[in-house]
Structure 1
Amino acid sequence: MSKKLQWTVRVTFWLYLLYIYITVYRQGSFYSFLLLNTFLGYLPIEIALHLKATQSKLIYWGLFVLWLLFYPNAPYVITDLFHLARMDPYNPANGLMSFDLHMWLNFTNLVASAFGCALMGIWSLEYVAQTLQKRFRLLGWPYRTLLVVFLTLASSIGIYVGRFLRLHTAYLFFEPDAVIKQLLEMWNPRMLIFVTFMTIIQLIIWAALVIGRELIGNYDKSEKLLK
């Protein structure tokens, strides 16, 4: 990613976080959690921007471990969409959807955070897979797919930990013993099914991005639309 695009991503997230802070968090809204969740979802994206396949082992693997620990926070924001259930979008008088702009503002904020973190998070996941391919000389789509699936499975486990055990990544640094104990005890069939659901969602997003990117690129190339 070019420096210009990197700063475009950074500034966009920072401005959005400032917007959430001023218009949602400071107002004491129920949706104030979006500030923390969006910030945590942005962290792995920022870490990925500093990761390079040619870095020394110490720097590369240090950044990789940090990215792996924080990455689940990006797709985790998708689960915040369940808070849409707090809204009552239908007018009881006529059964039609209400034109309440405040409700639609809350909807926009939830969806913007979920899509922004998930889509850019998937970019960071594929980019990390690319760097692993380069370091280990694993050429071809089969290796790329295997790496993406493995990293997605790991992130889905992280989503379960965050959503149901209510453990943030930072707890690993402050309460490692308690965290490890809960991680060892969490395995059961229901947990594995949830992890499967989250993995399917993320892989669908990844596949859609890959296919869409390929189709758009091919058309641009065949029609010479871009210089």
Structure 2
Amino acid sequence: MVGDFMTKKLNWTVRITFVLYLVYVYLTVYRLNSFYSFLLLNTFLAYIPIEISMHLKAKQPKLLYWGLFILWLLFYPNAPYVITDLFHLARMNPYDPLNGLMSFNLHKWLNFTNLVTSAFACSIVGTWSLEHVAQTLQARFKLRGWGARNLLVLILTLASSIGIYVGRFLRLHTAYLFLEPDAVVKQLIEMWSPRMLIFVIFMTIIQLSIWAAMTIGRLLINQYDQQNNLL
């Protein structure tokens, strides 16, 4: 019961935090019709798989579990996708043309803060949802050990990287699968190329780096807590 309560409490903390951040983006970016208004939609789309993962449990009925899993898999690339929005930092031109030094322009730093915050929050919390989904798969298939978990994370990350390519370069959103399935399937079949696969590898490296950093950090913190009886 305590574990369930803590899980619900953490889930609601994540929900409220994202809602407050979306309100913040609306007020400081979208309402002002800024170039970076896309952050509102992209952050919202990135949150959808996080919310879906909160409802995914290993011991659910098959139909419910696999239905939620497919929905999560379709929407999950939206979470790490926000990292690619960092390319829009190039529009800021932060250097003073007179002296070549970085200018102290608070408006530019606000845009920088919004882009980086969205990228970090969506990718980090999204990575939590990725590992949670991998845990549920591991439990359902009764797979044991870190090797099985790592393999599941790698497979899901590769699938996500393909999804990022589809969203960034084919400009296909998840909804198009339901609205124009024939056109989407045709583009998905024709998209494969060596350049596309190299991009997928790049995105996989980024995502696995975030996952590895989170995993190592969590293990080190837990080890320190246990050694010093802090919990």
Q: TM-score range by the shorter chain?
A: over 0.9
Amino acid at match of 2:186: K
In structure 2, what is the equivalent of residue 176 of structure 1? 181
In structure 1, what is the equivalent of residue 45 of structure 2? 40
Matches within 5 A, 1:1-227: 2-226=7-231
CA distance in 1, matches of 2:55, 2:181: 26
CA distance in 1, matches of 2:109, 2:27: 18
Percent of matched pairs sharing the same residue: 77
**Post-superposition offset of 1:26:** 1.1
CA distance in 1, matches of 2:96, 2:28: 26
**Post-superposition offset of 1:97:** 1.0
1:164-221 Cα offsets, whole Å, 9 max, x none, are 0000001001010000000000000000000000001100110111001000110011
Structure 1 runs of 4+ aligned residues shifted over 4 Å read none
Q: CA RMSD in A?
A: 0.7
**Post-superposition offset of 1:23:** 1.5
Calculate the TM-score normalised by the size of structure 2.
0.97
1:2-47 Cα offsets, whole Å, 9 max, x none, are 1111000000000111111122111100000000000000000000
**Post-superposition offset of 1:153:** 0.2
Calculate the TM-score normalised by the size of structure 1.
0.98
Structure 2: gaps spanning 5 or more residues: 1-5
CA distance in 2, matches of 1:5, 1:98: 39
Aligned residue pairs, count: 226
CA distance in 1, matches of 2:17, 2:125: 12
